[in-house]
Structure 1
Amino acid sequence: MIEKRRGRARASGQPGGWVWLQTLVAVALMQPWLCAGALTQQSPLVRRISIEQGLPSSEIYALAEDRHGYLWLGTDAGLVRYDGREFVRWQIPGVASGTIEQVLIDQRDHLWFSMTEVGLMELNPARELVRQFSVERTPGWSSNDVWALHLAADGDLWVGTYLGGLIDLQVNSGEFTLVPLEGVSEPWSVLALTTDREGSLWVGTYGRGLLSVAVGDSVAKAHPFTESGRHQVDALAPADEGVWVAARDRGICQYDSERGWRCPERPEDLQQIGDGKAMVVNGNGELWVSRSRGISMRSREGHWRHFQASTGSPFGLPPRRLIALHLDPDGGLWIGTEGAGLAYISPLSQRVQAWVSDAADPKSLPPSRIRAVAADEAGLWIGTFEFGLFRFNGHDQLTNRLPQQRLSANRIQDLGTTADGALWVTHEQGLSRLSDYPGEDLHWPTSEFGQGLADLIFPLGESQVLVSVYGSGTWLAGPGELLPVESDERKPTQLEDVQSGHGQIWVASERGLHRFEPACGCLIWLDLSDQRSYALAADARGWWVAVDGAIVHFVATPTGWKLARSLEWSGRPPGGMRVDPLGRLWASGPEGLFVLEKEAISWRRLGSELGVVAAEMSSRPFESDGESLLLPSDRGLLRVNPRALPSAPILRSLKLIEASVFRQGERVQLALDAPAAVEAGDGDLVIRLGSPLLGEAHSLRFLSRVDGLDPDWVELADGRRTLGVLPAGRYEFHGQVFHPANRDLRLETSWSFEVLAPWWRRWPALITAVGLVALLLVLIQQAMARANQRRQRQDLEIEQLVWAERNAAEKSAFLAHISHEIRNPLSGMLGLLQMAERESSGPQRSRLALARAAGAQIHGLLEDVFVWSRVQR
Structure 2
Amino acid sequence: MHCPRILIVLCLYLAAAVPALAQQYNIRNWTLEQGLPQSEVMAIQQDQQGYLWLATRAGLSRFNGTDFVTYTKEDGLSSHNISTLFLDSQQHLWIGTTDAGLLRFNGSDFIPYGAAQGLQAESIQSVSEDKTGRIWVASNTGVFFLSGNRMQKYTALPEGSYTSIAHTPSGAMLAGTEKSGLYRVSKGKLLHLTTENSELPSNHVTALLPQADAGVWIGTTAGLAQLTQNKVRRIPLPESLAYSHITSFTLDNTATLWIGLQRNGLLKYDGKSFEHLTRRNGLRTNRITALATDMENNIWIGTSGYGLQQYKTPWFVHFFDFTGLAEPRITALAQDSNGTLLLGTDEGDFARMRQQRPDWTDAQPWPRGTTIYSLLPDKEQLWVCSSNGVWRLTPNGSTHYAHPSPRALPDVYQAATGPAGGVFFATAAGIATLHGDSLQLLPATEGPIKAKTIYRDTKGRLWVGADKGVFQVREGQVVKVRTNLNVREISSITEDTKGNLYFAAFNQGLLLLQGRQAKLFTTEQGLPNEAIKTVFADASDNLWVATNRDVLKVSLPILLREGKFSYRSYTANSGFRGLEVCDNAIVQARDSSIWFGTTKGLTQYLPHLDHPNTQHPKVMLTDVMLYSRPTDWEELGYPLDSLTGLPETLRLPHTQNHLSFNFHAICLSGPEQVRYKYRLAGYEDSWSPATSRSFTTYANLSPGKYKFELLAQNNEGYWTEQPLSYEFAIVPPIWRREWFIGVLLVVIAGAILSVVHLRERSLVKMNTLLEMKVDHRTRLLERQNREKEILLQEIHHRVKNNLQIVMSMLNLQARHVPDPLAKDVMQALRSRVRSMALLHERLYRHNDLEQINLEDYFLEICESLYASYGISMERVALELDIPETKVDVDTAITLGLIVNELVSNTLKYAFPQGEAGVLRIVLTRHDEVQFTLTVSDNGRGLPEDFYQHRQQGHSFGLKLVESLSKKLEGHMNFYNSHGTKSTLYFVLPS
CA positional deviation for 1:105: 1.7
Which residue of 2 is the match for residue 13 of structure 1? 3
Which residue of 1 is the match for residue 142 of structure 2? 165
CA positional deviation for 1:453: 3.5
**Equivalent in 682, 689, 692 of residue 666 of structure 2:** 692
Where 1:746 maps in the other structure, the secondary structure is coil
Please say if 1:623 is aligned against 2:587.
yes
CA positional deviation for 1:628: 1.8
| Contact 2:452-2:492 at 8 Å conserved across structures | no
Q: CA-to-partner distance for each residue in 1:201-238, whole Å, 9 max, x for gaps?
A: 22221111112222456xx6521112799821112223
Which residue of 1 is the match for residue 478 of structure 2? 521
Which residue of 2 is the match for residue 324 of structure 1? 290
Q: Which amino acid aligns with 2:233?
A: R
Which residue of 2 is the match for residue 279 of structure 1? 249
- The structure-2 alpha-carbon separation of the partners of 1:436 and 1:195, relative to structure 1 and needing over 3 Å to count, comes to farther
Q: Which amino acid aligns with 2:49?
A: H
Q: How does 1:240-639 map to 2 (within 5 A)?
A: 240=213, 242-248=215-221, 250-258=222-230, 260-263=231-234, 265-266=235-236, 269=239, 271-272=241-242, 274-291=244-261, 292-300=263-271, 302-310=272-280, 315-347=281-313, 349=314, 351-357=315-321, 362=323, 366-378=326-338, 379-386=340-347, 388-394=349-355, 397=356, 399-439=358-398, 441-444=399-402, 448=406, 450=408, 452-457=410-415, 461=419, 467-470=425-428, 472-475=429-432, 482-484=439-441, 493=450, 495=452, 513-518=469-474, 520-524=477-481, 526-528=483-485, 530=487, 554=512, 556=514, 560-561=518-519, 563=521, 566=524, 573=531, 575-588=533-546, 591-596=549-554, 599=558, 604-608=568-572, 613-615=577-579, 618=582, 621-626=585-590, 627-639=592-604
Which residue of 2 is the match for residue 195 of structure 1? 167
Cα distance between partner residues in 1 of 2:700 and 2:512: 41
Q: CA-to-partner distance for each residue in 1:394-416, whole Å, 9 max, x for gaps?
A: 4xx55332353523343434223
| Contact 1:295-1:307 at 8 Å conserved across structures | yes
- More deviation in 283-292 or 333-342? 283-292
Q: CA-to-partner distance for each residue in 1:327-363, whole Å, 9 max, x for gaps?
A: 234433221111122222222x1x55443306xxx4x
| Contact 1:355-1:637 at 8 Å conserved across structures | yes
Q: Which amino acid aligns with 1:390?
A: A
Cα distance between partner residues in 2 of 1:76 and 1:596: 47
| Contact 2:52-2:63 at 8 Å conserved across structures | yes
Cα distance between partner residues in 1 of 2:667 and 2:141: 38
Which residue of 2 is the match for residue 178 of structure 1? 153
CA positional deviation for 1:459: 5.7
CA positional deviation for 1:390: 1.4
Q: Which amino acid aligns with 1:453?
A: D
Where 1:37 maps in the other structure, the secondary structure is coil
Please say if 1:149 is aligned against 2:127.
yes
Q: Which amino acid aligns with 1:629?
A: I
- Scaled by the length of structure 2, the TM-score of the pair is 0.62
Cα distance between partner residues in 1 of 2:624 and 2:127: 37
Which residue of 2 is the match for residue 648 of structure 1? 613
CA positional deviation for 1:485: 5.5
Q: CA-to-partner distance for each residue in 1:573-623, whole Å, 9 max, x for gaps?
A: 454343444444434455344434575867534444675734565566422
Cα distance between partner residues in 2 of 1:197 and 1:256: 13
Q: How does 1:720-731 map to 2 (within 5 A)?
A: 720=694
Which residue of 1 is the match for residue 207 of structure 2? 235
Cα distance between partner residues in 2 of 1:167 and 1:526: 81
Q: CA-to-partner distance for each residue in 1:556-585, whole Å, 9 max, x for gaps?
A: 598643658746666894543434444444
CA positional deviation for 1:62: 0.8
Considering Cα pairs closer than 8 Å and 6+ residues apart, tell me whether 1 or 2 has the greater RCO: 1
Which residue of 1 is the match for residue 55 of structure 2? 74
Where 1:207 maps in the other structure, the secondary structure is coil
- The structure-2 alpha-carbon separation of the partners of 1:380 and 1:132, relative to structure 1 and needing over 3 Å to count, comes to same
Q: Which amino acid aligns with 1:372?
A: A
CA positional deviation for 1:425: 2.5
**Equivalent in 83, 87, 99 of residue 101 of structure 1:** 83
- The structure-2 alpha-carbon separation of the partners of 1:755 and 1:353, relative to structure 1 and needing over 3 Å to count, comes to same
Q: CA-to-partner distance for each residue in 1:667-696, whole Å, 9 max, x for gaps?
A: 87999666697999999x875653322224
Q: What is the RMSD computed on CA atoms of the aligned residues?
A: 4.7
| Contact 2:320-2:328 at 8 Å conserved across structures | no
Identity %: 19
**Equivalent in 121, 140, 144 of residue 118 of structure 2:** 140
- More deviation in 724-733 or 106-115? 724-733
Cα distance between partner residues in 2 of 1:206 and 1:527: 79
Task: Name the count of aligned residue pairs.
Answer: 714
Cα distance between partner residues in 1 of 2:407 and 2:607: 38
- The structure-2 alpha-carbon separation of the partners of 1:387 and 1:45, relative to structure 1 and needing over 3 Å to count, comes to farther
Cα distance between partner residues in 2 of 1:662 and 1:428: 64
| Contact 1:41-1:353 at 8 Å conserved across structures | no
Extract unaligned runs of 5+ from structure 1.
1-10, 29-33, 771-873
Q: CA-to-partner distance for each residue in 1:444-495, whole Å, 9 max, x for gaps?
A: 279656364333555655755654445x455456885634455566976474
Q: Which amino acid aligns with 2:164?
A: A
- The structure-2 alpha-carbon separation of the partners of 1:286 and 1:493, relative to structure 1 and needing over 3 Å to count, comes to same
CA positional deviation for 1:376: 1.5
Cα distance between partner residues in 2 of 1:133 and 1:622: 60
Where 2:723 maps in the other structure, the secondary structure is strand
Cα distance between partner residues in 2 of 1:553 and 1:706: 43
- The structure-2 alpha-carbon separation of the partners of 1:411 and 1:234, relative to structure 1 and needing over 3 Å to count, comes to farther
Which residue of 2 is the match for residue 838 of structure 1? none
Where 1:521 maps in the other structure, the secondary structure is strand
- The structure-2 alpha-carbon separation of the partners of 1:667 and 1:745, relative to structure 1 and needing over 3 Å to count, comes to closer
Where 1:716 maps in the other structure, the secondary structure is coil
CA positional deviation for 1:322: 0.7
Cα distance between partner residues in 1 of 2:348 and 2:31: 32
Which residue of 2 is the match for residue 226 of structure 1? 196
Cα distance between partner residues in 1 of 2:675 and 2:57: 34
CA positional deviation for 1:530: 4.5
Cα distance between partner residues in 2 of 1:676 and 1:462: 83
- The structure-2 alpha-carbon separation of the partners of 1:366 and 1:485, relative to structure 1 and needing over 3 Å to count, comes to farther
| Contact 2:681-2:708 at 8 Å conserved across structures | yes
CA positional deviation for 1:63: 0.9
- The structure-2 alpha-carbon separation of the partners of 1:380 and 1:601, relative to structure 1 and needing over 3 Å to count, comes to closer
Q: Which amino acid aligns with 1:748?
A: P
Cα distance between partner residues in 1 of 2:578 and 2:444: 37
Cα distance between partner residues in 2 of 1:460 and 1:725: 70
Which residue of 2 is the match for residue 851 of structure 1? none
- More deviation in 146-155 or 80-89? 80-89
Cα distance between partner residues in 2 of 1:616 and 1:205: 52
| Contact 2:333-2:587 at 8 Å conserved across structures | yes
Instruction: Point out the structure with max Rg over C-alpha.
Output: 1
| Contact 2:268-2:276 at 8 Å conserved across structures | yes
Cα distance between partner residues in 2 of 1:577 and 1:178: 67
Where 2:618 maps in the other structure, the secondary structure is coil
CA positional deviation for 1:271: 3.3
